[in-house]
Amino acid sequence: MPKCKHCNKDIQFIKTATGKICPVNTESLSDEELSAISTVIFNPKIHKTHFIDCPAAERFRK
Ligand SMILES: [Zn+2]
């Protein structure tokens, strides 16, 4: 399972509707989504981007 290299939290990389890759907290994904992670499209109402709570988020944005 991927981990954030900055804070070591469990994360998954999923696609957004625009085709970008976004890191999200694993805990915000359902078991069904985790079993088919490559098909999941980021939904801001459901998925929690790891940018929000990563202590190193400032480095992500650069
Ligand atoms: Zn992090």
pLDDT of residue 18: 95
What long-range pairs does 18-21 form, CB within 8 A, spacing at least 24? none
- The alpha carbon of 27 and the centre of ligand 1 are apart by a number of angstroms equal to 13
pLDDT confidence of residue 62: 52
Note the pTM of the prediction, 2 decimals.
0.84
Q: What pLDDT was estimated at residue 61? A: 57
Task: Tell me how far the alpha carbon of residue 4 lies from the centroid of ligand 1, in angstroms.
Answer: 5
Q: How far is the CA of 48 from the centre of ligand 1 (A)?
A: 12
Residue 5 lies in a domain: no
Listing DSSP states for 1-62 in one string gives --B-TTT--BEEEEE-TTS-EEEEEGGGS-HHHHHTGGG-B--TTT--BHHHH-TTHHHHH-
Answer yes or no: is 1 within a domain: no
Quick one: pLDDT at residue 39? 96
Residue-level pLDDT, tens digit, the chain, 62 residues: 899 999 999 999 999 999 999 999 999 999 999 999 999 999 999 999 998 889 987 765 55
The CA 37 to ligand 1 mean position distance, Å, reads 19
At 59 the pLDDT is 63
CB-based contact 37:14 (threshold 8 Å): yes
Is position 2 within any domain?
no
Question: Looking at the domain assignment, is residue 17 inside a domain?
Answer: yes
Domain count, the chain: 1
Note down the domain range covering 37.
Answer: 11-61
